[in-house]
């Protein structure tokens, strides 16, 4: 009888240990599942918070954009090449224009400072094959003011000083190797500008204007040996001291210098998106 009692007690103890092991295993599985679920919920909550923050920043930027951004002109540096009156001179003979390069910086107040330097190519007289046209260089500095900064097309006004017009001396003989010498006029120029410029790199500008060269008469006429005043150029009245000029310019526009927080965040988002 005693042996049976001892055996029964041993069996009860063994069953108790087995049940404890099962309880421990079940508890561990439940705890692990809870940890996984909590981690998943935490990540999801973080993602939602980041998404809400991103959307809030984006709305704030869009609001700021509606008030201030879309100002394509602000703090822009532009490297330019072109032909005609702004790069840097318009003329009567030869191709009728110079070809050159320049730079312009447009401030946040939409006023731009620019300078250009260029060349007048030499060539052959279109009427006489044995007579050549002298080439040369020209320059111009000026101040521009642009309107409609939030549009892609900007109307502008410009005033500048430099080489504004050229022509060639009509005389060409063996004394100067049959070359018609260049006559360059300095003066003032007033232009109306039509400019295409956004946040992209490309820049396009057409200009039409009026030049005024106070030295035109002095450089247009010479006194002959018999004391007569004769025009140096084909036009018997000399070079006009005022006239209409044209120009066409293309360029590379750098991004806005000195961007504010809105623009910095926009660029950072673009970089993350591109990555």
Q: What pLDDT is stored for residue 70 in this prediction?
A: 72
pLDDT at 24 over 50: no
User: Residue 260 — very low, low, confident or very high, per pLDDT cuts 50/70/90?
Assistant: confident
pTM metric for this prediction? 0.70
Q: What pLDDT is stored for residue 224 in this prediction?
A: 82
Contact between residue 132 and residue 58 where contact means Cβ atoms under 8 Å apart: no
pLDDT at 13 over 90: no
Q: What pLDDT is stored for residue 48 in this prediction?
A: 78
Contact between residue 208 and residue 192 where contact means Cβ atoms under 8 Å apart: yes
Q: What percent of the chain has pLDDT over 70?
A: 80
Helix (H, G, I), strand (E, B) or coil at 152: coil
167-200: b or e for each residue (b if 16 or more CB lie within 10 Å)?
A: bbbeebeeeeeebbebbbbbbbbebebebbbeee
Which of 45-54, 79-88, 162-171 has the least mean pLDDT?
45-54
Architecture of domain 76-253: Beta Barrel (2.40)
Q: Residue 70: is it exposed, middle or buried by C-beta count within 10 angstroms (0-12/13-18/19+)?
A: middle
> What would the mean pLDDT of 109-133 be, rounded to a whole number?
89
Q: What pLDDT is stored for residue 32 in this prediction?
A: 63
Each domain of the chain, given as residue ranges in start order, spans 1-69, 76-253
Q: What pLDDT is stored for residue 53 in this prediction?
A: 77
> What would the mean pLDDT of 72-93 be, rounded to a whole number?
92
For residue 196, what are its two tokens?
A: 């295409």
Q: What percent of the chain has pLDDT over 90?
A: 46
C-alpha closest to that of 209 among 198, 194, 228, 196? 194
> What would the mean pLDDT of 65-78 be, rounded to a whole number?
78
For the chain, what is the mean pLDDT? 83
**pLDDT, tens digit (0-9, with 9 covering 90-100), for 156-192:** 999 999 999 999 998 888 877 888 999 999 999 999 9
* Other Cβ atoms within 10 Å of 116 Cβ, number: 28
Distance from the Cα of residue 55 to its chain's centroid: 29
């Amino acid at each position: 009888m005693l042996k049976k009692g001892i055996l029964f007690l041993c069996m009860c103890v063994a069953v108790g240990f087995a049940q404890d092991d099962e309880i421990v295993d079940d508890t561990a599985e439940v705890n692990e599942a809870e940890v996984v679920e909590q981690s998943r919920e935490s990540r999801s909550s973080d993602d939602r918070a980041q998404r809400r923050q991103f959307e809030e920043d984006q709305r704030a930027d869009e609001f700021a954009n509606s008030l201030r951004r879309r100002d394509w002109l602000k703090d822009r540096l532009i490297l330019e090449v072109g032909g005609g009156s702004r790069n840097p001179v318009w003329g009567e003979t030869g191709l009728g224009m110079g070809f050159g390069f320049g730079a312009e910086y447009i401030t946040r107040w939409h006023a731009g400072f620019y300078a250009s330097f260029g060349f007048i190519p030499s060539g052959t007289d279109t009427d006489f094959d044995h007579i050549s046209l002298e080439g040369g260089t020209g320059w111009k500095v000026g101040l521009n003011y642009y309107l409609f900064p939030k549009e892609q097309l900007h109307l502008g006004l410009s005033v500048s000083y430099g080489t504004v017009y050229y022509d060639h001396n009509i005389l060409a003989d063996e004394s100067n190797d049959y070359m018609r010498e260049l006559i360059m006029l300095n003066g003032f120029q007033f232009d109306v500008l039509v400019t295409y410029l956004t946040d992209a790199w490309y820049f396009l500008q057409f200009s039409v204007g009026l030049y005024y060269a106070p030295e035109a008469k002095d450089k247009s006429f010479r006194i002959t040996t018999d004391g007569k005043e004769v025009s140096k150029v084909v036009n018997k009245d000399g070079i006009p001291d005022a006239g209409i000029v044209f120009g066409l310019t293309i360029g590379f526009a750098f991004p806005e210098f000195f961007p504010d927080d809105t623009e910095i965040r926009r660029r950072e988002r673009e970089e993350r998106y591109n990555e």
